Amino acid sequence: FNTHDDTQKIIEKYKGSNVDIHTFNQSQYPRLVVDDYLPLPSKGRTDKDGWYPPGHGDVFPSLKNSGKLDALIAQGKEYVSVANSDNLGAVVDLQILNHLIRNKNEYCMEVTPKTLADVKGGTLISYEGKVQLLEIAQVP
């Protein structure tokens, strides 16, 4: 929701190309006021600053909830590669894709050690016996 309008402007220049670009909005959740833990929108803050994006873990439910997942499946698509727009080095590596297909892996995620320069994003945690991504936006 924070970058939707800017994204639409950028992809407009690809309208005449033979590339299909699919977009969808991820969820948004109300920011809480630290004093009383009430949501900012309930106090009249309905602008973008009253909300936060839940982060990477919300990509999959949002893909489904937006209807894009059903549309891609209806087109015969079987795989999705997701990369942040600021990851300029992101590429689709067919060796990795072929490995996932051969081994019938349902999910694969690149994980690298954090450095002192990694001040945003999330970290892997073990929660209720499962590995999950905890986003900085999810905690105070």
Among the ranges given (56-65, 68-77, 110-119), the one the predictor scored with the smallest mean pLDDT: 110-119
Confidence band, pLDDT 50/70/90 cuts, at residue 88: low
Element (H, E) at 125: strand 122-127
Please answer whether residues 7 and 23 qualify as being in contact, where contact means their C-beta atoms are separated by less than 8 angstroms. yes
In this structure, is residue 59 part of a structural domain? yes
In this structure, is residue 105 part of a structural domain? no
In this structure, is residue 22 part of a structural domain? yes
In this structure, is residue 138 part of a structural domain? no
- Write down the pLDDT at residue 21: 82
In this structure, is residue 27 part of a structural domain? yes
In this structure, is residue 118 part of a structural domain? no
Identify which has the larger pLDDT, 56 or 77: 77
In this structure, is residue 12 part of a structural domain? yes
In this structure, is residue 135 part of a structural domain? no
pLDDT tens across 33-48, in order?
888 888 887 877 777 7
Count how many Cα atoms sit within 13 Å of the Cα of residue 126 in the half-sphere of its side chain.
1
Among the ranges given (54-63, 65-74, 92-101), the one the predictor scored with the smallest mean pLDDT: 54-63
Confidence band, pLDDT 50/70/90 cuts, at residue 86: low
What's the total number of domains in the chain?
Answer: 1
- Write down the pLDDT at residue 85: 62
Domain of 28, in residue numbers: 3-77
